[in-house]
Structure 1
Amino acid sequence: MKKWAFISDFDGTISKKDFYWIIIEKYYPEGEALFHQWKNGDMKDIEFLATIFGSINQTEKQTLKDIHEIPIDEHAIPFIRAVQEAGGDFYILSAGTDFYIQHILNEKELTNVQVFSNKGYFKENNVHMDIDPNEWHFSDRYGIDKSVVIQHIKESYDHVFYFGDSEPDSHPAKYADTMFAKDALIMILKEQGVPYIPVRDFKDVNRFLSEEGWLKDE
C-alpha cells in the first residue's frame, strides 16, 4: 500500500470557471436556459455537456486558445507539485472531459497526474465525448461514476484526500478519508451530514496539509 493520494475535481476546483460557461458566454447564449433545465433535473449531466460542447462551432486552433484561457486557481499548480514532492500521488477526477484537462496539464508541464474523466475529442469544429457504457466506471447520469473511481483508488493507499466544489463531488465525498469542500458543495455535504473541511482554494488546502505534516515545509 502507498501512503497517500490527493484527488481533485477539475471544473470549479482546479479551474476557477467551468469550461461550459466559457462556451456559453462566448458562443452559445442559449446554453444558459439549458443550464437551468439541467439544474432543475430535466437533463442529465452528460446530455447538458454534450449539447454545450457540441455548440462551439469554432476551429480547433480557436478552441485550444479558449482552453488555455480557462482561469486556473493560481495555487493549484504549485500544490500539485508539492504533493508529488512530498511523496503523494495526484489524481484529477472530472465529470467533464479529458480533452481540455490534458491540454491544461501539458501546458503547465505537469507529469504523473492521472486523469479519470469522460474521454473527449475534437471533430468538425466541436468537442465530443466518447462515453462507453461498458466502461468499469460508467455512469448513466455523469458519464463517469466518481464514487466507483475513488473506491478503486483507495485500494492502493492508506489515506485519500478529495477536493470538490459541486453536486457530482458529493458522491465520492462519502468515501474520502479527508474531504475538502468549497462553494455549493459545502451546503450539500452539510445537509447530508458528510464530514468535510471548508476551504476557499488550494492555498487553504495547502495550509491544512502543511500543518498536519503531509507536505514539506517551504
Structure 2
Amino acid sequence: MEVRKKIAVFSDFDGTISEKDVCYLLLEKYADFNWQEIDKKWIDGELSTEEAYRTMLGKIDLKKSEFDRFIDNVKIDESFVIFYEFCRSNSIEIEIVSDGLDYYIKRILGKYGITDISIHTNHLEFDGETWVLQFNNTAAKLCPKKNNPCGFCKIEPVLKKKNDGFITVYIGDGASDRCPATVSDYLFAKGYLANYCRDNNIIHREFKSFEDIKNTLKEILYE
C-alpha cells in the first residue's frame, strides 16, 4: 500500500521516551535542597528553563564519570524502538524535541542503537568536570511564555513542518509540552500534559505506550 501523506512526528524525551524524567531522577538522587519549589516556579511560569536549570544544576556537585554512570541506568519505553523503526520504514519523519539536555538524550538512545535521529534540545558539555549549559535563544523567542520562556521551545520545529505542508503529530507528557499542544494536528498526551489538556479543552488522545500511537499512525497514513 502506497503512503500518500507527508507526516512529521515530534516526541518529547523525558517521561515520554524515557520511563521517567531524567532531570527529576538526577535531582531526587543528588540534590540536598528544595528543588521541588524551584520546579514549581518553572511550571507556574515564574522562572525560565534556563534560570531553573542554572539554579538547580549549579547546586549539584557531580563529576562527569558519575553522571555517565547515572545516565547508563536510565531506561526507556522500549516500544519506542519499534515505533522509531516503523516511522523510518514508512517514510514518516520523526524528531525528538526536548527542554532537557542533549548529552544524556544521545547517550541513553545510543544504548538502544538509535544514533541518527534528529534531536532539538538544550546543550550540555563538560569543560573538565565543569558543566557548561547552552540554550537556544532563537527558539526561546518564539515561546508563548514570553517573560520566562522554555530553554528550547518545541513550538518552533512543529510550526516549521506545518508551514512545509506536513501533518504534524506531537507526543508528550510534561509542562514544556504545553507550547506545541495547541498547534499540532494530532496530539498524544499522558501524565501532566493529559491533565492540562482536559482542563483546557484541548483535543488529544491519551496513550500508554508508543504501540498505541503506531496503530493510530497507520490510520492516519491510509485514511
TM-score higher than 0.5: yes
Q: What is the rounded CA distance, in whole Å, between the counterparts of 1:8 and 1:191 in structure 2?
A: 22
Residue identity in the other structure for 1:82: F
Identity within the alignment, %: 26
Alpha-carbon displacement from aligned partner over 1:144-174 (angstroms, at most 9, x marks no partner):
2211221013233431111011222121111
Q: Any idea what SS the aligned residue of 1:117 has?
A: strand
* Correspondence 1:62 to 2:70: no
What CA RMSD, in Å, does the superposition of the two structures yield over aligned residues? 2.4
CA contact (8 A) 1:137 1:144 kept: yes
Give the whole-Å Cα distance in 2 for the aligned partners of 1:40 and 1:136.
Answer: 20
Residue 181 in 1 paired to residue 185 in 2? no
Aligned residue number for residue 16 of structure 1 = 19
Q: Is the CA contact (8 Å cut-off) linking 1:169 and 1:185 kept in structure 2?
A: yes
Structure 2: gaps of 5 or more residues: none
CA distance in 2, matches of 1:136, 1:142: 8
Is the contact made by 1:54 and 1:126 (CA closer than 8 Å) also made in structure 2? no
- Name the count of aligned residue pairs: 213
TM value normalised by structure 1: 0.85
TM-score (norm 2): 0.84
Structure-2 separation of matches of 1:146 and 1:169: 7
Q: Which has the higher strand share?
A: 1
Gaps of 5+ in 1: none
What is aligned with 2:167? 159
* Structure 2 CA distance for aligned equivalents of residues 104 and 127 of structure 1: 18
Provide the secondary structure at the position in 1 that maps to 2:167. Answer: strand
> What are the residue-to-residue correspondences of 1:1-218 with 2, within 5 Å?
3-30=6-33, 31-133=35-137, 135-138=138-141, 139=143, 140-210=148-218, 212=219, 214=221
Distance in 2 between residues matched to 1:50 and 1:101, nearest whole Å:
19
Deviation of 1:83 (Å): 0.9
> Contact 1:50/1:128 (CA < 8 Å) preserved in 2?
no
Residues 188-217 of structure 1: CA deviation (Å, up to 9, x unaligned): 11222221111122122123224x1649xx
